[in-house]
Amino acid sequence: MNAIPQAAALTPDTAAAGQAARWTVAEVEKLYQLPLMDLIFRAQQVHREHFDANEIQRSTLLSVKTGGCSEDCGYCSQSARYSTDTEREALLPLDEVVAAAQAAKDKGASRFCMGAAWRGPKDKDLAKVSEMIRAVKGLGLQTCVTLGMLKEGQASELKEAGLDYYNHNLDTDASFYGQVITTHQHADRVDTLGQVREAGIKVCSGGIIGMGEGRRNRAALIAQLANLNPPPESVPINNLVPIPGTPLANVAPIDNFEFVRTIAAARITMPTSFVRLSAGRQAMPEEVQALCFLAGANSIFYGDKLLTTGNPESDRDEALFEKLGLRPI
């Protein structure tokens, strides 16, 4: 009988005294190379050490400012550089945001995320978003925003407004980044995460899988996230949703099992983080979603819309959760 590979070869390098262990890209690649059943078993073991395996955290994401972004992210319908079906819209008024947040809470969401299509917020816009944060917090929801790259002092302003999480995905590893985005650098994203962490806001950061990258790029992304000190509290793993009119519209989809492997690698390397099954879930069969939950995903976006891409309707989610015996956190 073949035993599951021992942890010695599949855990991060032991660091010097007083320093956190770090994952190398090669070590994460070894996780990917495990037989799928062994990998999922390992991930499920790690998951159960830190979480109730039958609980799922639910977040709802609202686009509070859509379209017209100056950046050239090759996957995004909100870039002003591409011809897509996404229309440019102004910042939503406060009352519409509060109404959407209340509806999300009524549907079972515990966190409300607000996204704006900016390279980064102007100070006048940040003041309006801060009002939204305070109002949503007043409903008893956790708050998260994704506003692009931050300037000095802006993270502190968001902290003062009561923000719980700031989302800023690394998207992919540094070596592949330039093939997807050219209007800013990978290091700019890392800098924003540093400002968020310094301000005392929890970090939400993950990546997008299936943009034409290779397994080593995926392993390098996971390793970089895991080696942040501390790792992100929330790690969204997105499966590319090809948008007509964008440079990545015709990229071949990634194999479902490779996506499951990525979820498992994220769970093993970031044991205490919430791993979110994020964009692309609408196209996944229920069986693939179930495998992702088994591999350690314990958070989803919940509702009808994920920024400008589809997301399974909440009623369909409820039916799936009932089949699997999953309950909300």
Phi first, then psi: what are they for 234, rounded to 5°? -135, 130
Of the candidates 202, 190, 192, the one whose C-alpha atom is nearest the C-alpha of residue 227 is 190
Both tokens assigned to 113? 């995320």
Q: Are strands 234-239 and 327-328 parallel, antiparallel or unpaired?
A: unpaired
Both tokens assigned to 69? 């972004």
Per the CB < 8 A criterion, the answer to whether 293 and 56 are in contact is yes
Cα separation of 107 and 239, whole Å?
24
Helix (H, G, I), strand (E, B) or coil at 112: strand
Per the CB < 8 A criterion, the answer to whether 268 and 296 are in contact is yes
Cα separation of 132 and 121, whole Å?
14
Torsion of CA 210, 213, 218, 220, to 10 degrees: -160
Q: Which residues are catalytic?
A: 69, 73, 76, 113, 144, 204, 276
